[in-house]
Amino acid sequence: MTTTNPLLDFSDLPRFDTILPEHVKPAIESLLSEGRELIAHLTADQTPATWQDFAGKLSDGLEPFGRAWGVVGHLHSVNDVPAWREAYNEMLPEVSRFYAELGQNLKLFDKYKALRASAEYETLSIEQKKVVNNEIRDFRLSGAELPEDQKPRFQAIMEELSQLSAKFSENLLDATNAFAEVITDPALLAGLPDDAIQAAKSAAEKAGLSGENSGWRFSLQAPSYGPIMQYADNRELRARMYRAYATRAAEFTDGTSKPEWDNTPIINRMLALRLEDAQMLGFNNFAEVSLAPKMADTPAQVLAFLRELAAKAKPFAAKDIAELRSFAKEELGLEDFQPWDAAYVSEKLLQKRYAFSEQEVKQYFTEPKVIAGLFKVIESLFGVKVKLDSAPVWHEDVRFYRIETAAGDLVGQFYLDLYARETKRGGAWMDEARSRRRITNGIQKPIAYLNCNFARPVGEKNGKPLPATFTHDDVITLFHETGHGLHHLLTRGEELGVSGIHGVEWDAVELPSQFMENYCWEWNVVEGMTAHVDTGATLPRELFDKMLAAKNFQSGMMAVRQIEFSLFDMQLHSEFDPKSGLTVMNLLNEVRQEVAVLTPPEWHRFPNSFSHIFGGGYGAGYFSYKWAEVLSADTYAAFEEAGDPFDATVGKRFLDEILSVGGSRPAIESFKAFRGREPSVDALLRHSGMIAA
Residues annotated catalytic, as ranges: 481
675 sits in which H/E element: helix 667-675
Exposure letters 488-515 (e unless 16+ CB within 10 A, then b): bbbbbbbbbbbbbbbbbbbbbbbbbbbb
CA neighbours within 13 Å on the CB side: how many for 580?
A: 11
CA-closest candidate to residue 111, choices 41, 200, 207, 212: 41
Contact, 439 vs 94, CB < 8 A? no
Spatial CB neighbours of 396, under 8 Å, sequence gap ≥ 6: none
- Quick one: angle between helices 82-103 and 126-141, nearest 10? 100
Helix, coil or strand: residue 539: coil
CA neighbours within 13 Å on the CB side: how many for 394?
A: 27
- Strands 410-419 and 429-434 come out as unpaired
Dist. CA 289–CA 294, nearest whole Å: 10
Contact, 18 vs 6, CB < 8 A? yes
CA distances from 363 to 464, 514, 515, 539 (A): 17, 25, 25, 9
Task: Specify which residues 431 forms β-bridges with.
Answer: 449
Dist. CA 137–CA 505, nearest whole Å: 13
Q: Which ranges of 398-535 does DSSP label H, i.e. alpha helix? A: 472-489, 511-517, 523-528
Three-class secondary structure assignment of 363-426: CCCEHHHHHHHHHHHHHHHHCEEEEEECCCCCCCCCEEEEEEECCCCEEEEEEEEEECCCCCCC
Phi and psi dihedrals of 436, rounded to 5?
-75, 135
Dist. CA 117–CA 49, nearest whole Å: 10
CA distances from 446 to 63, 252, 417, 644, 664 (A): 13, 45, 18, 30, 16
Phi and psi dihedrals of 293, rounded to 5?
-95, 15
Long-range contacts of residues 148-152, Cβ cutoff 8 Å, at least 24 apart: 150/280, 151/104
Spatial CB neighbours of 144, under 8 Å, sequence gap ≥ 6: 103, 104, 105, 106, 108, 109
